[in-house]
Amino acid sequence: MQCFLVVKKEAILGTAYARMDKKAISSFLLNTKFLLTVYIIIAIVAGLQLYMLGKSTFNAPVNKLYTTDIMAQPAIRSQYMGKQYTQYNNYVVFKRSYFHLLNGEDLYTIYPEEQWDLYKYSPSFPVFMLPFAYLPDVVGLALWNILNALVLFFAIRMLPVSDRARNGMLWFVLLELLTSLQSAQSNALLAGLIIMAYALLHKRKIGMAVLMLVLATIIKPYGAIGFCMFLFYPGKGKAILYSILWGAVVLALPLVLTTITQLTAQYHSWAQLIAADKSSSYGLSVMGWLHSWFGLSNINMYVMMAGILLFLLVLSRIGLYKNTTYQLYTLALMLMWIIIFNYKAESPTFIIAIAGAAIWYFPQAKATWRTVMIITVFIGSCLTPTDIFPPYVRQHLFNPYVVKAIPCIVLWFVIFIEVMLMHRPPTSNKTDRKVIG
């Protein structure tokens, strides 16, 4: 009997210790400072990895999803063939744009001796590359990745949800963040600015929220979708005035580096590029899915219009504007909409959509079907581009059939249905600002 009691006591103690260990591990992994350190390390490692890969000879195959892209034209591609380019070419394009603006050169033409691909952002963006322009690439690239990672990190940390939900989101998006950083792109920065704008609006900091959205828009024009969030809050007149103010400041910002005549020419050239770049590309999007699975062509405009109408239906739920859950769902739909209805969407852009998926899942009460959905998104959208799957499978199945986009497309429509079925809360004069999660 005594022996039995000893064994039982040890079993109880062992279970207690196991629970304590599990709690300690969970507490450690969800520690904000630890997560911040992880984000910084990931950003630095991604930058160093790209830099150490050095240069390689350009001989890229044409992706059938982008066969009519400007850079796919034989006359253009022939000027690049055989030349050496870095693995962090996107950063080079961003960095060189500063010098092109400074020297009065056309931002929107090709520079085969310097970089592969065209610069496609606004004429204001090069000014923000000044802190990186004169740094050695190994340093500048690391700092650029750190900037992207930290803006997304602090944006998520600012959301009006529980601390556990925020840190759960940060872990969930980490792998997709790495994919974006390994291309030295600005997608994490864009996602962070839009999320931060919502968080600032929730705190009634309208001026700063407008600035975040203006900055997002000069990175990529579809960042302007974030201005829809001003519908949820009072002070719309003030928001319009701030938009005019910050818009004028940012639009005129290149004048610190160039003349008004040259700046006018840059905007004209940018408009021509945008017009010329309206191709039959399909990308990792609804368009790409319909084209690769069903052979539908010339559908971009129709799908875009359908996507806009669906999003307007979400915004038609005026009675829910003060509900925080509705606001977060709409933010999630907005971030995912930017990608799945974008005929230029590619793998590194999906950090924006994945951030939206995380905002939908982590703050709310868990349900089995929701967990299955988010795991499907993680496997289908985050893991499919990685070496977990054999190259043959990626090249002959995942890429041609836009598998990466499909879980996000399905989830977008699931969230859309949830929003349309959401019950209107009781009438109240106060905005629902509670922390959820």
pLDDT at position 11 over 90: no
pLDDT at position 430 over 50: no
Count of domains in the chain? 1
Give residue 25's pLDDT.
67
If you compute the radius of gyration of the chain from its CA atoms, what whole number of angstroms results? 24
Mean pLDDT in residue range 86-109: 94
Give residue 16's pLDDT.
52
Give residue 428's pLDDT.
43
pLDDT at position 64 over 60: no
Q: Give the pLDDT band of residue 67 (cuts 50, 70, 90).
A: very low
In sequence order, what E strands does 108-211 have?
none
Give residue 275's pLDDT.
79
- In contact, 162 and 363? CB cutoff 8 Å: yes
Q: Is residue 390 part of a domain?
A: yes
Q: Give the pLDDT band of residue 59 (cuts 50, 70, 90).
A: low
Residue with tokens 């969970």: 26
Q: Is residue 432 part of a domain?
A: no
**β-bridge mates for residue 64, sequence order:** none
Q: Is residue 436 part of a domain?
A: no
Distance CA 232, CA 243 (A): 16
pLDDT at position 66 over 80: no
Q: Is residue 389 part of a domain?
A: yes
Sign of CA dihedral 47, 50, 54, 56: negative
pLDDT digits (tens, 9 = 90+) for 141-176: 999 999 999 999 999 999 999 999 999 999 999 999
Distance CA 194, CA 184 (A): 19
Give residue 58's pLDDT.
72
Give residue 14's pLDDT.
57
Calculate the average pLDDT of the chain: 88
Give residue 77's pLDDT.
78
User: What is residue 231's DSSP assignment?
Assistant: G
Cβ neighbours, 10 Å, residue 184: 25
Q: Which residues neighbour 333 within 8 Å (Cβ) at sequence distance 6 or greater?
A: 311, 314, 356, 412, 415, 416, 419
pLDDT at position 65 over 70: no
Weakest-pLDDT range from 46-50, 210-214, 274-278: 274-278
Give residue 62's pLDDT.
47
Q: Is residue 24 part of a domain?
A: no
Weakest-pLDDT range from 184-193, 354-363, 421-430: 421-430
Give residue 90's pLDDT.
93
Distance CA 267, CA 140 (A): 27
- End-to-end Cα separation, the chain, in angstroms: 48
pLDDT at position 431 over 50: no
Q: Is residue 427 part of a domain?
A: no
Query: By CB neighbour count within 10 A (0-12 exposed, 13-18 middle, 19+ buried), where does 261 fall?
Result: exposed
Distance CA 184, CA 143 (A): 11
Q: CA nearest 251: which of 210, 214, 216, 204?
A: 214
Q: Is residue 187 part of a domain?
A: yes
Mean pLDDT in residue range 61-72: 53
Global pTM value: 0.90
* Side chain identity, residue 347: S
Q: Which residues neighbour 387 within 8 Å (Cβ) at sequence distance 6 or greater?
A: none
Give residue 337's pLDDT.
97
Q: Is residue 384 part of a domain?
A: yes
- In contact, 378 and 313? CB cutoff 8 Å: no
Range of the domain at 379: 31-421
Sign of CA dihedral 158, 159, 164, 167: negative
Give residue 344's pLDDT.
87
Give residue 134's pLDDT.
95
Q: Give the pLDDT band of residue 15 (cuts 50, 70, 90).
A: low
Counting every residue, how long is the chain? 437
Distance CA 385, CA 403 (A): 10
pLDDT digits (tens, 9 = 90+) for 247-284: 999 999 999 999 999 999 999 999 988 877 665 578 89
Give residue 174's pLDDT.
97
Q: Which residues neighbour 110 within 8 Å (Cβ) at sequence distance 6 or greater?
A: 76, 79, 118
**β-bridge mates for residue 57, sequence order:** 84
In the chain, what percentage of residues exceed pLDDT 90? 68
**Cα 283 to the center of its chain, rounded Å:** 15
Long-range contacts, stretch 360-368, CB < 8 angstroms, 24+ apart: 360/328, 360/329, 360/332, 360/411, 360/415, 361/172, 362/161, 362/165, 362/166, 362/168, 362/169, 362/172, 362/437, 363/159, 363/161, 363/162, 363/165, 363/325, 363/328, 363/436, 363/437, 364/325, 364/436, 364/437
Weakest-pLDDT range from 41-45, 154-158, 199-203, 383-387: 383-387
Q: CA nearest 38: which of 171, 220, 234, 128?
A: 171
